[in-house]
Structure formats: structure tokens, C-alpha cells
Amino acid sequence: MSNKKAKENFEYLLKDFKSNPNPNIEKETDSLESGISHTNDFSIDLPDNLEIHHPYIVFIIFVILKEFWWLGRWEKTAWEIPIKYKNVDYILTHRKFGFRIISSNNKESIKTGIEAMRQIHKMIPYAEELFQPYIKSIIKKNNISLDNKYYLIYNRYKYFKNKSSSAFRLSDKYLKQTSNQTSIQEFFKLYNKKRRKISIGNYYLIAMVDSFFSLLEHIFVLLIPFIPKFDIHSIKLDEVIGMKWKNKYRIIFDELEDIGSNKKLENLVKIKEIFKNTSSHGHFLKRDNSFLIQTEFLGLIPVVLSDYQDTLSYSIDSKYGMSFKDIRDSFNSFIKFLKTNKKTKYGMRFIESGLPIAFDDDSVKSYNEAMSSKKSFEEFLHYLSHLHDNAANMDW
């Protein structure tokens, strides 16, 4: 679709919408400056196919693309956009529990409100097309963040590790039950049980290895803003996300300086050669589709807008070697190394907080300033966590 065609369709669908700084909806206060606080307002119950799952799309349509008048955040509310649709007053709003369209409680306003929402849904693909230049300009400036999926991937790894460990432990237990008095039939019965448990242990082991390398790929990308004196503009993040895990590793650790990391790298390479796979790249989507762009009024929103999906699938093809204990110990050792190494310890601490990671210049500067001491970094994390919790609860 051409940009010109998208704009024509977008404007046609918007022809019955107008900005409305003075909505005629009963409210608690005559002042709009602190928000439209309603006593008898009515939130229209939308059909499932008209629900808005990404409220920032509505904001993009009316405020960023059409420059409608709007009210900013206050208690439990991110924004309100008063509009007229076919001369009926409505308020589009994003509150703590999601998007709402508010009107007076009468049949005509409800019917027309649902019609307005149907038009808004039709606008979305055209709005996304028209918003692309803005997205590209933000990415070019590095004003982007990434979701921190550390615990999601780590817990998957931990689950498979525990399952594999349990299966191998049971397999050892079966043949220990045999003695000189054990019959041939009983011996083979226990032997077959042992083989089944080894097979199950291997299934979980493959998944464990795949999860661990996915975790490493995720960590190596999220650590980049925390590397001391690293020029964030020397890389293209969308290209780094698509790199193989060893190339990501080399962005963090210099091969000549970090002798200790290279010894641990050798163990990981050996394991990776045994378990060859085509796993996903650190739980990131291809190229720039994982980015959350940093917008002035909406905060972090995904590049892919309404097509955003928080899921990935992956497959593996493996061969066995090394013992389960060797692999588990190598993995544990490397995670411990990342948490204690001078280059990565603060980054790992931030990643463990679960907060999203920002790559813009101001954020990278604040990270590096906070890394002056353990105390300073913990205070910095506490402050950011407080801001993040307030934002999640819309406590402004």
C-alpha cells in the first residue's frame, strides 16, 4: 500500500471525528485541567471484536497523527481524548484496567459509540503505515528499549534442568536395586526402566541446553548498555540480535583481555558442538521487531504495534556427549562468572531486577554513572523500580 493511499483511507475514516475540548458529559468538576472526573459517566460495553488491546494505537491515531486535544496523566489514568463522533460526545481513555470509551448512558450514544469504535478499528492498519517514518526516526536515534525476559527464559532452563536431573537420578536407582538373588526377568525389567529414564532425561537435557543458550543470547544483548566505555553507536542493535551467540559474546568480552572468560567459553563451545540446534536468538524476534520505541507521551511501545506477540517457537537437533553433571556445572559456573566479572556484574544485577533495558544515550549515561559503586547502583535500581511500579499502577 502506498503512503498516499493509506493517508486517503485514513482521512476518509476520520471524517466524522472531531476534537472536543468541552465534552458535554456530566462530571464531578467544571475544570478539565485535572482530568475529566465523572460521576454518572457510562463506559460502553464493546463486543469482543471491537475491544482495544493496544491503547497506544488510539493515542497515535488521534493525538500524534491528527493532533487532537487531550489530557495527560493523573491518578489511575494515562490519558483522555475528548471527541465528537457524528456530533455525539465521547471520551477515549486509557486507565489502569485498559481502554474505555465513555459516553452518556442512552441508547443512541451507545449505538453511535460502537459505530465509532468500528471506524477506529478500520483505521488501525492505515495508522500503522503512516506511523512508520516516526518509528524509523526513533530507531535511528537509538531511543529504544528491550523487554527483559531473563526470568521467563531462566525459569524454563531451570525447569528442564530439574526434570533432567530427576530422571537421571532415578535411572541410577533402578539397577542399584539388583542383587545376586535377582532373577533374569526382574533384572531386565529394572534395566528397561533405567533405559526409559535415561531417554526421558536426555529429552529434558536437550531442552535444558537449548534454553540455556537462548538465555545467554538474551543476556549478551541486554548487557551491552552496561559495558564500561562502550560506544553504543558502534553497533546496530537489530543486527546484533540476529548474530550467533559467540559473536554476541565477543561484543561483551575481548578475546585477548578476558582470559578467564575464554576458558569458560571453551566449555560452552564444546557443549554447543554436541547439541547442535537451530534455537531462537535469545527470545528476540528477527531484526528490529523486538524493539520497544521510546515515545514522549506513551512511554515504551512495540515497533510492530498491534501485531505484537510475546511468543516464540524453536526446534532442535542434537547429539549426546558429556555427562549431565559436566554440562550443568559448566552452565552454573558461567552464570556465576557473569554475576561477578567486573564488566558484567552491574549489568547482570540490572537484568535480574526484571526492568526493561534502554539503549538511548541518556539511559546508557545514567547506567554508567550508577556503576561507580555497589551502593550507588542499588539505590539507582531502587529508584527505577519505584518509578516502574508507579507507572504500572498509574500512580503518577
In one-letter notation, the amino acid at residue 353 is: S
- Please tell me the predicted confidence (pLDDT) of residue 79: 93
Asked if 164 contacts 205 with a C-beta cutoff of 8 angstroms, the reply is yes
Cα–Cα distance, 373 to 48 (Å, whole number)? 51
294-299 long-range contacts, CB within 8 A, separation 24+: 294/138, 294/143, 294/144, 294/145, 294/358, 294/360, 295/56, 295/138, 297/59, 297/63, 297/64, 297/72, 297/79, 298/56, 298/59, 298/60, 299/391
- Please tell me the predicted confidence (pLDDT) of residue 167: 85
Asked if 225 contacts 364 with a C-beta cutoff of 8 angstroms, the reply is yes
User: Which positions of the chain have pLDDT values less than 50?
Assistant: 27-39, 256, 277-281, 309-320
In one-letter notation, the amino acid at residue 31 is: S
Asked if 44 contacts 115 with a C-beta cutoff of 8 angstroms, the reply is no
- Please tell me the predicted confidence (pLDDT) of residue 297: 72
- Please tell me the predicted confidence (pLDDT) of residue 310: 44
- Please tell me the predicted confidence (pLDDT) of residue 173: 66
At 88 the three-state DSSP class reads: strand
- Please tell me the predicted confidence (pLDDT) of residue 269: 85
Residue 341: how many other CB atoms lie within 10 Å: 17
- Please tell me the predicted confidence (pLDDT) of residue 321: 53
- Please tell me the predicted confidence (pLDDT) of residue 28: 37
Q: How does pLDDT run across 168-222, given as a tens digit for each residue?
A: 887 766 556 555 555 556 655 665 677 777 888 888 888 999 999 999 999 999 9
Q: How does pLDDT run across 220-231, given as a tens digit for each residue?
A: 999 999 998 888
206-210 long-range contacts, CB within 8 A, separation 24+: 206/275, 206/316, 206/318, 207/160, 207/316, 208/157, 208/160, 208/161, 208/164, 208/327, 209/271, 209/275, 209/277, 209/318, 209/327, 210/275, 210/277, 210/279, 210/314, 210/316
Residue 133: how many other CB atoms lie within 10 Å: 10
**Kind and range of the H or E run holding 33:** none
In one-letter notation, the amino acid at residue 307 is: D
DSSP class of 64? I
Within 13 Å of residue 49, how many CA atoms lie on the same side as its CB?
Answer: 4
